[in-house]
């Protein structure tokens, strides 16, 4: 309709626009390659200067070249154009290019819409509370800018900020209703880019020297646990993850026993001291779930495998909550012939000294249990060092090198060489990876397991006892089991453990971080974790069945529609006017005169009216003159005070024509 | 065919009349209130693009099962819905009437001034008044303070002599976000006279001079006080009647009449030209020149005769005769 177009924004509006867009893309500078961030900054600055100094904008040829160059640069940088990272980079660059050719009002709107879309991409990378607050603040700013730039009149930006704030506040209840009630479906609807889940940390399904020590430097939360009643002691807090059977002497991998076999635990023999708890697992882009050693049954999200892992039906790509029961004392019973062969296999012609040591232990001992004790004694008595930065094991016989030469290692070194030693001694053994420990958050009374708690230990099969957990690391560094690693002091290389500290400052810090984690946990559970299942539970609590979609549609329409009607009423019902007391009293004065046959005409000024009254009723002249003068002074001079207002009121009241 | 239908529709109560058949009417005396039923609202092109982006965002949120993406999408969607209410509220219950219609010369612009009255406690922003009378559409934008009124002018191009009807005016708004446009049609019963375009140069007709009696100057060297009139910019401050200002009667100029000028007669028969318009243009030029030289002049047209007089009023009367010349009486 409107053909009115601005050739260029005025300078103040341009500054605001550039600031808004800059703040919108700012968090992406963490993900973008440095050249792209700098380029976006440069384009923004150039556009600002161009507006200030009235520089000419580049012609089409230059713009085309720039576009092609940027697309090629992004392709070279990422190797693709459709991934998550390259997609956002492309969007940011598109915004820069649009800025270069910003001439008309329409271009401004394209930029605004691009900015709205860019806002949402931040959440693919991070959904923390600060990020959410930042993005919502940006949305507010963008809406204000949108309002400011749409108007053809000039109003201060402050006005737009206030109006946009009002719009958002009115929209808030509707947003909440939609968030809770809008039908959620299990994503993804279509394929996601390959790098959609990049950046998730966690254990992998193989273990090589150094794999776990790299995790140990991460403070990221792996999962949170809430125990229903009984809490296991520290030395029992082993969280079972991938079980590794196959080795080439250096690396360990999962075996054929990882296949899920059902919901019921295959253990038939004695199981005692059941512990029930709920785990909220952070997404780690792998199929397994973690459970306290030893899971009793599968959960709604995962089946159990024959080597007693929990396996989910698909990779865990969003926060997952599941309830579990585990036994702390157990007997896994007999071993199949296949399992025995698997648990005894050793790579040929590797680690000869380890194998020789194992054989000699077997010969010297009377029982398997004695072999285990003797092997642990070796770790305990010889000068083994528990270190995050062990020397590299680069020979073909890493186990030999570790056991007889370097003797410095992290848990994976101990677990790996111990298992190999056992296999050499004829005892079925395997490596189990997972997490060990859990930090209590007293704020909400739950336990936090972090990536730095990643651990590896061994399991040996002993006749009559079944699979028994042996942690060779505990033999070398028993404090590892009691306390978690202090990553703040890790840079020294030697492992420091978090000691109970007494000084007030660190206590306060500890308390603060626990409070923050409790808030984060609730945020994760209530807001970020709200999905199809939570929606089903919520509706179930309201007495609604998710399958009864007709009824649900009604509830949705009635509730959201009703809310919208309320907002409509709030917006459209006129407010009471705030009548100026001066005007109110003057109108009273006019009404008094009107009753005596002297109505004031609509377009008559106060002075003209007074003149007219004076001519027709000379006896009122003085009073009318005084009231009119006072009225003009109070209403138009802008310097009337409370005392004058009172006098004015009194005079009007006493006025009796 | 159309008339019986129109009459039949007019017989219906207002709320039963189909929309679009009869629009609100307003004039100088009667104002039109944009009532609920007369205000239409639809998304703009920009609004449709915004909805598409919202749908894309929603699909993205579903695909990634991303809670915060849902929050942002729903929030922007809610803001969009609330902005619909704001747009509607910005226009509804606005009162409009005609304040003034200024005549103009053909080829110029007739300025219609509308009075927008806002009886609500909320300020109204970006009210757009659009008229498609004349050749192209004309738009003006203003905002109206709470419980206040404002004037908005539309300068309609007037290419032809005669009467210019303002006709249907569209009042619309896109406040706050430009995603929706609310509008209402008002038929303005307003017309403006379009005088003929003055001819370029023309000496006074010889026959016109001297026909009347020469008026003698009553007092030597000074002009006679004639009366008061509203102050016009450009009036000499020596002629302003300051006492009136002191009495809050506004600026008033004292008018003096020179009685020494001869009477002029501008006659249709004195004009030469191929067609009526050329001859009227000629007369128009004479009238303007006669007025600027502060002479007394009269106008003679076929069937019309205006006695000689002097001043703006005479000029306007004569010009009005020219504008309406040839109309059936």
Residues A202-255 pLDDT 10s: 777 788 777 777 777 777 788 989 998 888 888 888 999 888 888 888 888 887
**Can you tell me the ipTM of this complex?**
0.75
Q: Is B23 on the interface with A (CB under 8 A)?
A: no
Q: Is A217 inside a domain boundary?
A: yes
Which pLDDT score, from 0 to 100, does residue B329 have? 60
Are residues A224 and A78 located together in one domain of the fold? no
> Could you tell me how far CA A101 lies from the centroid of its own chain?
36
Cα–Cα distance for residue pair A25/A95, rounded to 1 Å:
10
Is the pLDDT reported for residue B87 higher than 90? yes
3-state secondary structure A386-433: EECCCCCCCCCCHHHHHHHHHCEECHHHHHHHHHHHHHHCCCCEEEEE
Are residues A106 and A252 located together in one domain of the fold? no
Nearest to B78 among A175, A196, A568 (CB): A175
Contact (CB<8Å) B62/A189 = yes
Helix (H/G/I), strand (E/B), else coil: B11: helix
Which pLDDT score, from 0 to 100, does residue B169 have? 85
Q: A598: distance to nearest CA of chain B, Å?
A: 19
- Convert the pLDDT of each residue in A165-189 to its tens digit: 999 999 999 999 999 988 887 766 6
DSSP structure string for A188-212: -SSPPPGGGGTT-----SEE-TTHH
- Convert the pLDDT of each residue in A457-472 to its tens digit: 999 998 888 888 998 8
Residue B189 pLDDT level (bands cut at 50, 70, 90)? confident
Cα–Cα distance for residue pair B263/B296, rounded to 1 Å:
5
- Convert the pLDDT of each residue in B303-314 to its tens digit: 888 888 888 888
- Convert the pLDDT of each residue in A481-538 to its tens digit: 666 555 444 444 445 555 555 677 778 887 888 888 888 888 888 888 888 878 888 8
Q: Is A522 inside a domain boundary?
A: no
Cα–Cα distance for residue pair B147/B95, rounded to 1 Å:
11
Is the pLDDT reported for residue B219 higher than 70? no
More confident residue, A75 or B140: A75
More confident residue, A420 or A533: A420
Cα–Cα distance for residue pair B22/B6, rounded to 1 Å:
9
- Give the chain B residue nearest A153 (alpha carbons): B126
Domain ends where: A150, A169, A190?
A150
Residue B119 near residue B98 (C-beta atoms within 8 A): no
B-chain residues near A139 (CB < 8 A): 72, 75-76
Q: Is B122 on the interface with A (CB under 8 A)?
A: yes
pLDDT above 90 as % of chain A: 14
More confident residue, B316 or B142: B316
Contacts with A590 (C-beta within 8 Å, 6 or more apart), sequence order: A599, A600, A609
- Convert the pLDDT of each residue in A282-296 to its tens digit: 888 888 889 888 888
Which pLDDT score, from 0 to 100, does residue A19 have? 92
Which pLDDT score, from 0 to 100, does residue B80 have? 95
A-chain residues near B177 (CB < 8 A): 143, 146-147, 150, 167
Are residues A233 and A138 located together in one domain of the fold? no
Residue A552 pLDDT level (bands cut at 50, 70, 90)? confident
Which pLDDT score, from 0 to 100, does residue B140 have? 76
Q: B194: distance to nearest CA of chain A, Å?
A: 28
Q: Which domains does chain B possess?
A: 21-194 (2.60.40.10), 224-323 (no CATH)
Which pLDDT score, from 0 to 100, does residue B222 have? 44
Nearest to A150 among B53, B82, B177 (CB): B177
Which pLDDT score, from 0 to 100, does residue B82 have? 94
Are residues A215 and A145 located together in one domain of the fold? no
A-chain residues near B143 (CB < 8 A): 153
Which pLDDT score, from 0 to 100, does residue A140 have? 95
3-state secondary structure A9-34: CCHHHHHHHHHHHHHHHHHHHHCCCH
Domain span holding position A119? 11-150
Residue B152 near residue B142 (C-beta atoms within 8 A): yes
Helix (H/G/I), strand (E/B), else coil: A482: helix
- Give the chain A residue nearest B86 (alpha carbons): A571
Q: What average pLDDT does this structure show over B105-115?
A: 87
Q: What average pLDDT does this structure show over B47-69?
A: 91
Which pLDDT score, from 0 to 100, does residue B7 have? 62
Q: Is A361 inside a domain boundary?
A: yes
Name the B residues in 176-235 with CB < 8 Å from any A CB. 176-178, 181
Structure tokens given for A142: 């963008």
Average pLDDT along chain A: 82
Asked whether the bond before A180 is cis by omega within 30 degrees of 0, the reply is no
Nearest to A171 among B49, B61, B79 (CB): B79
Which pLDDT score, from 0 to 100, does residue B159 have? 84
Most trustworthy range by pLDDT among A94-98, A518-522, B323-327: A94-98
Residue B85 near residue A568 (C-beta atoms within 8 A): yes
Average pLDDT along chain B: 79
Q: Is A268 inside a domain boundary?
A: yes
Q: What average pLDDT does this structure show over A256-265?
A: 70
- Cross-sheet strand order for the sheet of B304-309: B263-267, B296-301, B304-309
Give the burial class of A324: count Cβ atoms within 10 A of its Cβ; 0-12 exposed, 13-18 middle, 19 or more buried: buried
Q: How many domains does chain A contain in total?
A: 3
Q: Is B86 on the interface with A (CB under 8 A)?
A: yes
Domain ends where: A445, A472, A492?
A492
Domain ends where: A432, A461, A492?
A492
Q: What average pLDDT does this structure show over A92-108?
A: 86
Nearest to B176 among A167, A171, A608 (CB): A167
More confident residue, A82 or B105: B105
More confident residue, A537 or A197: A537
Are residues A145 and A212 located together in one domain of the fold? no
A-chain residues near B171 (CB < 8 A): none
Are residues A219 and A339 located together in one domain of the fold? yes
Contact (CB<8Å) B174/A150 = yes
Q: A116: distance to nearest CA of chain B, Å?
A: 8
Contact (CB<8Å) A123/B66 = yes
Nearest to B143 among A132, A153, A577 (CB): A153
Residue A400 pLDDT level (bands cut at 50, 70, 90)? confident
Q: What average pLDDT does this structure show over A316-328?
A: 84
Cα–Cα distance for residue pair B169/B150, rounded to 1 Å:
17
In 3D space, the residue among B288, B121, B269 whose CA is nearest the CA of residue B205 turns out to be B269
Q: Is A192 inside a domain boundary?
A: no
A-chain residues near B70 (CB < 8 A): 179, 182
Which pLDDT score, from 0 to 100, does residue A334 have? 81
Nearest to A179 among B50, B70, B128 (CB): B70
Contact (CB<8Å) A577/B147 = yes
Q: What average pLDDT does this structure show over B191-200?
A: 87
Cα–Cα distance for residue pair B273/A112, rounded to 1 Å:
61
User: Chains A and B: how many Cβ contacts under 8 Å?
Assistant: 165
Contact (CB<8Å) B85/A568 = yes
Q: B318: distance to nearest CA of chain A, Å?
A: 30
Q: How far is CA A1 from CA B24, B44, B46, B139, B153, in A?
A: 22, 9, 11, 10, 19
pLDDT above 90 as % of chain B: 14
Is the pLDDT reported for residue B220 higher than 70? no
Residue with tokens 């923050």: A516
Q: A76: distance to nearest CA of chain B, Å?
A: 26
Q: Is B66 on the interface with A (CB under 8 A)?
A: yes
Is the pLDDT reported for residue A628 higher than 90? no
Q: Is A629 inside a domain boundary?
A: yes
Asked whether the bond before A573 is cis by omega within 30 degrees of 0, the reply is no
Are residues A603 and A480 located together in one domain of the fold? no
Q: Is A558 inside a domain boundary?
A: no
Residue B299 pLDDT level (bands cut at 50, 70, 90)? confident
Are residues A364 and A486 located together in one domain of the fold? yes
Cα–Cα distance for residue pair A249/A398, rounded to 1 Å:
7
Cα–Cα distance for residue pair A340/A568, rounded to 1 Å:
73
Q: How far is CA B233 from CA A529, B237, B249, B293, in A?
A: 73, 10, 17, 18
Cα–Cα distance for residue pair A166/A140, rounded to 1 Å:
10
Is the pLDDT reported for residue B23 higher than 70? no
Q: Residue A447 phi/psi, 5° resolution?
A: -115, 140
Is the pLDDT reported for residue A563 higher than 90? yes
Are residues A217 and A146 located together in one domain of the fold? no
Is the pLDDT reported for residue A22 higher than 90? yes
Which pLDDT score, from 0 to 100, does residue B24 have? 74
Q: Is B123 on the interface with A (CB under 8 A)?
A: no
Contact (CB<8Å) A528/B68 = yes
Which residues of A are identified as catalytic? 411, 455, 471
Contact (CB<8Å) B139/A172 = no
Are residues A228 and A108 located together in one domain of the fold? no
Contact (CB<8Å) A187/B181 = no
B-chain residues near A138 (CB < 8 A): none
B-chain residues near A127 (CB < 8 A): 66-68
Q: A167: distance to nearest CA of chain B, Å?
A: 6
Q: What average pLDDT does this structure show over A53-63?
A: 82
Residue B2 pLDDT level (bands cut at 50, 70, 90)? very low
Contact (CB<8Å) A146/B177 = yes
Residue A287 near residue A244 (C-beta atoms within 8 A): no
Q: Is B145 on the interface with A (CB under 8 A)?
A: no
B-chain residues near A170 (CB < 8 A): 78, 82
A-chain residues near B79 (CB < 8 A): 143, 167-168, 171
> Could you tell me how far CA A150 lies from the centroid of its own chain?
34
Are residues A109 and A33 located together in one domain of the fold? yes
Which pLDDT score, from 0 to 100, does residue B78 have? 95
Are residues A361 and A232 located together in one domain of the fold? yes
Which pLDDT score, from 0 to 100, does residue A83 have? 78
DSSP structure string for A287-333: SEE-EESSB-B-BTTEEEETTS-EEESS---S-EEEEEEEEEEE---
Which pLDDT score, from 0 to 100, does residue B256 have? 66
Cut 0.90: pTM above it: no
Is the pLDDT reported for residue B258 higher than 70? no
Q: Is A604 inside a domain boundary?
A: yes
């Amino acid at each position: 309709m409107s053909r009115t177009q601005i050739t260029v924004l005025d300078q103040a509006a341009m500054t605001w626009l550039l600031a808004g867009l800059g703040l919108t893309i700012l968090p992406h500078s963490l993900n973008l390659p440095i050249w792209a961030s700098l380029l976006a900054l440069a384009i923004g600055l150039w556009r600002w200067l161009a507006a200030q100094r009235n520089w000419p904008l580049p012609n089409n040829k230059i713009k085309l070249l720039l576009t092609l160059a940027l697309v090629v640069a992004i392709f070279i940088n990422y190797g693709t154009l459709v991934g998550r990272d390259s997609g956002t980079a492309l969007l940011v660059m598109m915004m820069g290019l649009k800025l270069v050719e910003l001439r008309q009002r329409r271009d401004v709107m394209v930029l605004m819409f691009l900015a709205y879309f860019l806002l949402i991409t931040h959440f693919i990378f991070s959904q923390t509370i600060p990020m959410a607050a930042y993005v919502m603040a940006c949305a507010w700013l963008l809406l204000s800018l949108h309002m400011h730039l749409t108007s053809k009149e000039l109003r201060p930006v402050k006005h737009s900020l206030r109006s946009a704030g009002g719009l958002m506040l009115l929209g808030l209840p509707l947003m909440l209703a939609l968030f809770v009630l809008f039908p959620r479906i299990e994503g993804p609807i279509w394929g996601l880019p390959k790098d959609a889940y990049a950046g998730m940390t966690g254990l992998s399904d193989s273990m090589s020297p150094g794999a776990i020590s790299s995790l140990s430097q991460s403070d990221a939360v792996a999962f949170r646990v809430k125990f229903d009643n009984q809490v296991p002691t520290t030395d029992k807090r082993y969280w079972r993850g991938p079980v590794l059977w196959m080795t080439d002497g250096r690396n360990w991998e999962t075996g054929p026993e990882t296949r899920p076999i059902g919901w019921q635990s295959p253990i038939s023999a004695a199981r005692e001291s059941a512990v029930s708890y709920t785990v909220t697992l952070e997404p780690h882009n792998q199929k397994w779930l973690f459970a306290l050693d030893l899971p009793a049954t599968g959960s709604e999200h995962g089946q159990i495998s024959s080597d007693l892992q929990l396996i989910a039906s698909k990779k865990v790509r969003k926060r997952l909550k599941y309830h579990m029961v585990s036994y702390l004392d157990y007997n896994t019973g007999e071993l199949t012939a296949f399992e025995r062969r698997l648990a005894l296999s050793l790579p040929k012609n590797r680690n000869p000294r380890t194998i020789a040591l194992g054989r000699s232990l077997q010969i010297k001992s009377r029982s398997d249990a004695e072999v285990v004790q003797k092997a642990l004694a070796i770790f305990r008595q010889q000068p083994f060092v528990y270190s995050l930065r062990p020397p590299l094991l680069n020979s073909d016989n890493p186990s030999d090198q570790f056991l007889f030469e370097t003797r410095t290692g992290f848990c994976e070194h101990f677990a790996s060489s111990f298992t190999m030693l056992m296999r050499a001694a004829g005892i079925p053994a395997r490596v189990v990876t997972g997490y060990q420990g859990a930090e209590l958050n007293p704020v909400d009374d739950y336990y936090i397991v972090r990536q730095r708690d990643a651990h590896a230990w061994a399991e040996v099969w002993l006749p009559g006892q079944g699979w028994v957990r042996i942690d060779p690391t505990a033999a070398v560094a028993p404090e590892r089991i009691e306390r978690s690693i202090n990553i703040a002091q890790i840079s020294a290389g030697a492992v420091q453990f978090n000691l109970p500290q007494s000084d007030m400052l660190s206590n306060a810090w500890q308390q603060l971080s626990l409070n923050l984690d409790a808030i984060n946990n609730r945020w994760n559970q209530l807001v970020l974790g709200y999905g199809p299942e939570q929606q089903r539970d919520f509706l179930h609590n309201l007495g609604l069945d998710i399958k009864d979609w007709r009824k649900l549609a009604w509830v949705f329409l009635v509730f959201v529609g009703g809310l919208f009607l309320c907002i409509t009423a709030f917006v459209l019902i006129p407010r009471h006017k705030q009548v100026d007391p001066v005007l109110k009293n003057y109108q009273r004065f006019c009404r008094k005169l009107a009753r005596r046959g002297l109505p004031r005409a609509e377009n008559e000024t106060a002075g003209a009216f007074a003149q007219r009254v004076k001519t027709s009723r000379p006896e009122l002249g003085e009073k009318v003159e005084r009231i009119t003068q006072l009225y003009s002074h109070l209403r138009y001079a802008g310097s009337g005070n409370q005392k004058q207002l009172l006098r004015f009121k009194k005079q009007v009241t006493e006025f009796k024509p | 065919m159309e008339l019986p239908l129109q009459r039949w529709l007019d017989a219906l109560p207002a709320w039963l009349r189909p929309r679009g058949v009869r629009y609100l009417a307003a004039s100088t005396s009667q104002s039109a209130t944009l009532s609920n039923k007369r205000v239409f609202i639809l998304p703009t092109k920009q609004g449709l693009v915004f909805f598409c982006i919202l749908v894309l965002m929603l699909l993205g949120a579903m695909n990634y099962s991303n809670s915060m993406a849902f929050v942002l999408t729903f929030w922007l969607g809610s803001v969009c819905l609330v902005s619909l209410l704001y747009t509607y509220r910005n226009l509804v219950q606005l009162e409009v009437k005609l304040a003034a219609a200024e005549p103009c010369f053909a080829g110029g612009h007739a300025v219609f001034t509308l009075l927008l009255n806002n009886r609500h406690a909320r300020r109204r922003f970006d009210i757009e008044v659009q008229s498609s009378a004349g050749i192209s559409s004309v738009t003006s934008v203003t905002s109206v303070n709470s419980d206040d009124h404002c004037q908005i002018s539309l300068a309609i191009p007037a290419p032809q002599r005669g009467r210019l009807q303002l006709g249907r005016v569209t009042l619309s708004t896109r406040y706050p976000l430009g995603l929706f446009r609310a509008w209402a049609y008002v038929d303005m019963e307003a017309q403006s006279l379009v005088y003929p375009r003055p001819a370029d140069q023309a000496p006074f007709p010889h026959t016109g001079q001297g026909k009347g009696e020469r008026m003698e100057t009553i007092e030597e060297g000074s002009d006679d006080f004639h009366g008061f009139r509203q102050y016009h910019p450009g009036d000499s401050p020596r002629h302003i009647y300051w006492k009136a200002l002191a009495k809050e009667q506004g600026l008033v100029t004292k008018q003096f009449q020179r009685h020494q000028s001869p009477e002029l007669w501008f006659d249709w028969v004195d004009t030469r030209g191929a067609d009526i318009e050329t001859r009227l243009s000629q007369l128009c030029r004479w009238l303007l020149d006669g007025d600027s030289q502060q002479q007394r002049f009269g106008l003679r047209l076929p069937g019309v005769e205006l006695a000689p007089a002097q001043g703006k009023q005479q000029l306007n009367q004569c010009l009005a005769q020219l504008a309406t010349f040839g109309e059936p009486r």
